[in-house]
Amino acid sequence: MREPIKSQRHKSQLLAIAVFAALALPLALALSACGTSDSSNEPTATDQIKIVAAFYPLQYAAEAVGSTYVSVTNLTSPGVEPHDLELSPAQITEIADADLVLYLKGFQPSVDEAVAQQAADHAIDVSAGIDRLTMNPDAAELAGELDPHIWLDPANITKIANSISDHLGRINTSAAPTFTANTKTLAAEMADLRGEFTSGLANCASRTLVASHDAFAYLAKAFGLTQVGISGLSPEAEPSPARLAEVADLVTTEGITTIYYETLVSPKVAETLASETGTTATVLDPLEGLAPGSIESYPDVMRSNLAALIAGQRCE
Protein backbone atom coordinates (compact mmCIF):
# COMPACT_ATOMS: atom_id res chain seq x y z
CA MET A 1 0.00 0.00 0.00
CA ARG A 2 1.42 3.38 -0.94
CA GLU A 3 2.26 5.96 1.77
CA PRO A 4 0.03 8.99 1.87
CA ILE A 5 1.33 11.91 -0.20
CA LYS A 6 1.54 14.04 2.95
CA SER A 7 3.88 11.51 4.60
CA GLN A 8 6.09 11.37 1.52
CA ARG A 9 6.41 15.16 1.44
CA HIS A 10 7.34 15.15 5.15
CA LYS A 11 10.12 12.62 4.54
CA SER A 12 11.42 14.63 1.58
CA GLN A 13 11.55 17.78 3.69
CA LEU A 14 13.51 15.98 6.46
CA LEU A 15 15.94 14.57 3.90
CA ALA A 16 16.50 18.04 2.38
CA ILE A 17 17.15 19.51 5.82
CA ALA A 18 19.67 16.80 6.61
CA VAL A 19 21.50 17.30 3.31
CA PHE A 20 21.60 21.08 3.80
CA ALA A 21 22.97 20.68 7.33
CA ALA A 22 25.65 18.28 6.13
CA LEU A 23 26.76 20.73 3.45
CA ALA A 24 26.47 23.83 5.59
CA LEU A 25 28.58 22.62 8.51
CA PRO A 26 31.90 22.29 6.57
CA LEU A 27 31.23 25.62 4.88
CA ALA A 28 30.64 27.32 8.23
CA LEU A 29 33.81 25.80 9.64
CA ALA A 30 35.80 26.94 6.62
CA LEU A 31 34.47 30.49 6.89
CA SER A 32 35.19 30.49 10.61
CA ALA A 33 38.75 29.35 9.97
CA CYS A 34 39.23 32.11 7.40
CA GLY A 35 37.98 34.71 9.84
CA THR A 36 40.33 33.48 12.54
CA SER A 37 43.27 33.56 10.15
CA ASP A 38 42.57 37.15 9.07
CA SER A 39 42.19 38.48 12.60
CA SER A 40 45.39 36.79 13.69
CA ASN A 41 47.30 39.04 11.30
CA GLU A 42 46.39 42.05 13.43
CA PRO A 43 48.79 42.37 16.37
CA THR A 44 47.32 42.22 19.83
CA ALA A 45 48.48 44.49 22.64
CA THR A 46 50.86 41.80 23.86
CA ASP A 47 52.29 41.32 20.35
CA GLN A 48 53.00 45.00 19.73
CA ILE A 49 56.58 46.26 19.73
CA LYS A 50 57.07 48.43 22.82
CA ILE A 51 58.75 51.71 21.89
CA VAL A 52 59.81 54.45 24.28
CA ALA A 53 60.25 57.85 22.62
CA ALA A 54 62.13 60.58 24.45
CA PHE A 55 59.95 63.45 23.17
CA TYR A 56 57.12 64.20 20.74
CA PRO A 57 58.67 64.28 17.22
CA LEU A 58 60.14 60.83 17.85
CA GLN A 59 56.74 59.57 18.99
CA TYR A 60 55.20 60.98 15.82
CA ALA A 61 57.73 59.25 13.54
CA ALA A 62 57.48 55.92 15.41
CA GLU A 63 53.68 55.83 15.24
CA ALA A 64 53.67 56.79 11.56
CA VAL A 65 56.10 53.99 10.69
CA GLY A 66 54.89 51.31 13.09
CA SER A 67 51.11 51.92 12.91
CA THR A 68 49.23 49.13 14.72
CA TYR A 69 52.37 47.04 15.17
CA VAL A 70 53.79 49.34 17.84
CA SER A 71 52.85 50.79 21.20
CA VAL A 72 54.65 54.09 21.81
CA THR A 73 55.25 55.75 25.17
CA ASN A 74 56.44 59.36 25.21
CA LEU A 75 58.70 60.20 28.16
CA THR A 76 57.94 63.93 27.85
CA SER A 77 54.32 64.68 28.73
CA PRO A 78 52.40 67.43 26.88
CA GLY A 79 53.26 70.83 28.29
CA VAL A 80 56.61 69.71 29.73
CA GLU A 81 59.78 71.43 28.49
CA PRO A 82 61.94 68.46 27.36
CA HIS A 83 65.35 70.04 28.03
CA ASP A 84 64.77 69.78 31.77
CA LEU A 85 63.08 66.38 31.87
CA GLU A 86 63.80 64.35 35.00
CA LEU A 87 62.84 60.68 34.77
CA SER A 88 60.79 58.90 37.40
CA PRO A 89 61.74 55.36 38.53
CA ALA A 90 58.76 54.06 36.56
CA GLN A 91 60.03 55.73 33.38
CA ILE A 92 63.49 54.25 33.88
CA THR A 93 61.84 50.84 34.14
CA GLU A 94 59.95 51.53 30.91
CA ILE A 95 63.25 52.31 29.19
CA ALA A 96 64.77 49.07 30.45
CA ASP A 97 61.75 46.96 29.42
CA ALA A 98 61.18 48.50 26.00
CA ASP A 99 61.89 46.68 22.76
CA LEU A 100 63.23 49.93 21.30
CA VAL A 101 64.16 53.33 22.76
CA LEU A 102 64.33 56.45 20.58
CA TYR A 103 66.36 59.37 21.90
CA LEU A 104 68.61 62.22 20.80
CA LYS A 105 72.01 62.04 22.44
CA GLY A 106 72.98 65.27 24.16
CA PHE A 107 69.47 66.72 24.27
CA GLN A 108 68.10 65.30 27.54
CA PRO A 109 70.83 64.36 30.03
CA SER A 110 68.57 62.21 32.21
CA VAL A 111 67.54 60.16 29.17
CA ASP A 112 71.16 59.80 28.05
CA GLU A 113 72.07 58.42 31.47
CA ALA A 114 69.13 56.00 31.59
CA VAL A 115 69.87 54.71 28.09
CA ALA A 116 73.53 54.15 28.94
CA GLN A 117 72.61 52.19 32.07
CA GLN A 118 69.44 50.38 30.97
CA ALA A 119 69.08 50.31 27.18
CA ALA A 120 72.46 50.42 25.47
CA ASP A 121 71.54 47.32 23.43
CA HIS A 122 68.09 48.46 22.30
CA ALA A 123 68.27 52.23 21.79
CA ILE A 124 68.65 54.43 18.70
CA ASP A 125 70.30 57.83 18.72
CA VAL A 126 68.11 59.34 15.99
CA SER A 127 70.74 61.93 15.04
CA ALA A 128 72.96 59.22 13.53
CA GLY A 129 73.47 59.92 9.84
CA ILE A 130 72.20 63.51 10.07
CA ASP A 131 74.53 66.46 9.48
CA ARG A 132 74.56 68.35 12.77
CA LEU A 133 74.76 72.13 13.04
CA THR A 134 76.67 73.96 15.75
CA MET A 135 74.99 76.46 18.02
CA ASN A 136 75.36 80.21 17.73
CA PRO A 137 79.12 80.77 17.36
CA ASP A 138 78.76 84.31 18.77
CA ALA A 139 77.78 82.95 22.18
CA ALA A 140 80.90 81.85 24.07
CA GLU A 141 78.98 79.39 26.27
CA LEU A 142 77.79 77.55 23.14
CA ALA A 143 81.10 77.33 21.31
CA GLY A 144 81.27 73.97 19.54
CA GLU A 145 77.95 72.74 20.99
CA LEU A 146 75.68 70.87 18.59
CA ASP A 147 72.16 72.09 17.92
CA PRO A 148 69.76 69.24 18.81
CA HIS A 149 66.67 70.54 16.96
CA ILE A 150 67.12 68.31 13.91
CA TRP A 151 63.39 67.60 13.50
CA LEU A 152 62.58 71.15 12.38
CA ASP A 153 63.72 70.23 8.88
CA PRO A 154 61.06 67.78 7.58
CA ALA A 155 63.76 66.01 5.55
CA ASN A 156 65.30 64.88 8.84
CA ILE A 157 61.99 63.36 9.96
CA THR A 158 62.26 61.13 6.90
CA LYS A 159 65.80 60.10 7.88
CA ILE A 160 64.63 59.34 11.41
CA ALA A 161 61.72 57.29 10.03
CA ASN A 162 64.06 55.26 7.82
CA SER A 163 66.19 54.38 10.84
CA ILE A 164 63.12 53.39 12.86
CA SER A 165 61.80 51.27 10.00
CA ASP A 166 65.09 49.37 9.68
CA HIS A 167 65.14 48.53 13.38
CA LEU A 168 61.46 47.57 13.54
CA GLY A 169 61.92 45.32 10.52
CA ARG A 170 64.58 43.39 12.40
CA ILE A 171 62.31 42.96 15.41
CA ASN A 172 59.26 41.87 13.38
CA THR A 173 60.44 40.57 10.02
CA SER A 174 56.95 39.63 8.79
CA ALA A 175 55.79 43.23 9.21
CA ALA A 176 58.88 44.74 7.55
CA PRO A 177 57.05 45.41 4.24
CA THR A 178 54.41 47.37 6.15
CA PHE A 179 57.08 49.46 7.90
CA THR A 180 58.74 50.17 4.55
CA ALA A 181 55.44 51.20 2.95
CA ASN A 182 54.54 53.43 5.89
CA THR A 183 57.94 55.10 5.72
CA LYS A 184 57.50 55.83 2.01
CA THR A 185 54.13 57.41 2.76
CA LEU A 186 55.64 59.54 5.51
CA ALA A 187 58.55 60.56 3.25
CA ALA A 188 56.08 61.77 0.61
CA GLU A 189 54.21 63.80 3.24
CA MET A 190 57.46 65.37 4.46
CA ALA A 191 58.48 66.18 0.88
CA ASP A 192 55.14 67.92 0.34
CA LEU A 193 55.55 69.84 3.60
CA ARG A 194 59.05 70.90 2.64
CA GLY A 195 57.73 72.07 -0.70
CA GLU A 196 55.13 74.24 1.03
CA PHE A 197 57.87 75.90 3.10
CA THR A 198 60.10 76.43 0.09
CA SER A 199 57.28 78.06 -1.86
CA GLY A 200 55.90 80.07 1.06
CA LEU A 201 59.29 81.50 2.06
CA ALA A 202 60.65 82.12 -1.42
CA ASN A 203 60.01 85.88 -1.47
CA CYS A 204 60.30 87.54 1.95
CA ALA A 205 61.07 91.13 2.86
CA SER A 206 63.32 89.90 5.68
CA ARG A 207 65.35 86.71 5.78
CA THR A 208 66.59 87.22 9.36
CA LEU A 209 64.66 85.17 11.89
CA VAL A 210 64.97 86.58 15.42
CA ALA A 211 63.89 84.07 18.08
CA SER A 212 63.94 84.01 21.86
CA HIS A 213 66.40 81.10 21.83
CA ASP A 214 68.54 79.14 19.38
CA ALA A 215 66.08 76.48 18.26
CA PHE A 216 65.50 77.12 14.56
CA ALA A 217 68.85 76.69 12.83
CA TYR A 218 67.76 73.57 10.88
CA LEU A 219 64.55 75.23 9.73
CA ALA A 220 66.41 78.41 8.80
CA LYS A 221 69.12 76.59 6.84
CA ALA A 222 66.61 74.44 4.98
CA PHE A 223 64.65 77.43 3.72
CA GLY A 224 67.23 80.16 3.25
CA LEU A 225 66.77 82.12 6.46
CA THR A 226 69.34 83.31 9.02
CA GLN A 227 68.55 82.62 12.66
CA VAL A 228 69.45 85.08 15.40
CA GLY A 229 68.79 83.76 18.89
CA ILE A 230 68.44 86.12 21.83
CA SER A 231 69.52 83.46 24.31
CA GLY A 232 71.28 80.14 23.85
CA LEU A 233 70.28 76.49 23.88
CA SER A 234 68.22 76.67 27.06
CA PRO A 235 64.96 78.51 26.43
CA GLU A 236 64.88 79.62 30.06
CA ALA A 237 68.34 81.20 30.06
CA GLU A 238 68.40 84.95 30.67
CA PRO A 239 70.33 86.83 27.98
CA SER A 240 72.89 89.37 29.12
CA PRO A 241 72.10 93.10 28.78
CA ALA A 242 74.84 93.28 26.16
CA ARG A 243 73.20 90.51 24.11
CA LEU A 244 69.80 92.20 24.34
CA ALA A 245 71.32 95.49 23.16
CA GLU A 246 73.11 93.75 20.29
CA VAL A 247 69.94 92.05 19.02
CA ALA A 248 67.90 95.23 19.49
CA ASP A 249 70.35 97.11 17.32
CA LEU A 250 70.12 94.39 14.64
CA VAL A 251 66.32 94.51 14.71
CA THR A 252 66.31 98.28 14.27
CA THR A 253 69.01 98.36 11.61
CA GLU A 254 67.47 95.64 9.44
CA GLY A 255 63.88 96.80 9.86
CA ILE A 256 62.79 93.49 11.40
CA THR A 257 59.12 93.55 12.47
CA THR A 258 58.64 90.27 14.36
CA ILE A 259 60.33 88.57 17.32
CA TYR A 260 59.43 84.91 17.84
CA TYR A 261 58.97 83.05 21.11
CA GLU A 262 58.01 79.44 21.74
CA THR A 263 54.97 77.74 23.21
CA LEU A 264 56.24 75.95 26.32
CA VAL A 265 58.26 78.74 27.95
CA SER A 266 57.72 82.32 29.06
CA PRO A 267 57.51 84.92 26.26
CA LYS A 268 59.06 87.55 28.57
CA VAL A 269 62.37 87.98 26.72
CA ALA A 270 60.76 88.26 23.29
CA GLU A 271 58.05 90.60 24.54
CA THR A 272 60.62 92.83 26.26
CA LEU A 273 62.69 93.14 23.10
CA ALA A 274 59.58 93.70 20.98
CA SER A 275 58.45 96.47 23.32
CA GLU A 276 61.85 98.16 23.18
CA THR A 277 62.06 98.01 19.39
CA GLY A 278 58.43 98.66 18.48
CA THR A 279 58.00 95.25 16.90
CA THR A 280 55.58 92.33 17.38
CA ALA A 281 56.16 89.19 19.48
CA THR A 282 54.53 86.04 18.13
CA VAL A 283 54.73 82.25 18.56
CA LEU A 284 57.05 80.00 16.56
CA ASP A 285 56.82 76.45 17.87
CA PRO A 286 60.10 74.46 18.11
CA LEU A 287 57.95 71.32 18.33
CA GLU A 288 59.83 69.85 21.26
CA GLY A 289 56.45 68.82 22.65
CA LEU A 290 52.75 69.47 22.26
CA ALA A 291 50.71 71.82 24.41
CA PRO A 292 48.41 70.13 26.96
CA GLY A 293 45.20 69.01 25.30
CA SER A 294 46.49 69.61 21.79
CA ILE A 295 45.17 67.32 19.05
CA GLU A 296 47.55 68.67 16.43
CA SER A 297 50.25 66.56 14.78
CA TYR A 298 53.74 67.40 13.56
CA PRO A 299 52.53 68.53 10.10
CA ASP A 300 49.77 70.65 11.69
CA VAL A 301 52.21 72.53 13.94
CA MET A 302 54.73 72.95 11.14
CA ARG A 303 52.07 74.49 8.91
CA SER A 304 51.14 76.88 11.72
CA ASN A 305 54.83 77.79 11.90
CA LEU A 306 54.87 78.42 8.17
CA ALA A 307 51.88 80.78 8.46
CA ALA A 308 53.62 82.64 11.29
CA LEU A 309 56.82 82.99 9.26
CA ILE A 310 55.04 84.16 6.12
CA ALA A 311 53.39 86.92 8.16
CA GLY A 312 56.41 87.74 10.33
CA GLN A 313 58.98 87.78 7.53
CA ARG A 314 56.56 89.60 5.23
CA CYS A 315 56.61 87.02 2.47
CA GLU A 316 54.61 87.28 -0.73
Q: What is the CA radius of gyration of the chain?
A: 29
* Cβ-based neighbours of 190, under 8 Å, separated by 6 or more: 154, 155, 157, 158
CATH topology of domain 49-130+147-194: Rossmann fold (3.40.50)
Q: CATH 3.40.50.1980 spans which residues of the chain?
A: 49-130+147-194, 198-312
Residues 20, 282: Cα–Cα separation, whole Å: 74
pLDDT of the chain, 316 residues: tens digit per residue: 444 444 444 444 544 444 444 444 444 444 444 444 344 456 666 789 999 999 999 999 999 999 999 999 999 999 898 988 999 999 999 999 999 999 999 999 999 999 999 999 999 999 999 999 987 655 444 455 788 999 999 999 999 999 999 999 999 999 999 999 999 999 999 999 999 999 999 999 999 999 998 899 999 999 999 999 997 656 566 788 899 999 999 999 999 999 999 988 889 999 999 999 999 999 999 999 998 888 999 999 999 999 999 999 999 9
The CATH class, in words, for 198-312 is: alpha beta
Residues 59, 62: Cα–Cα separation, whole Å: 5
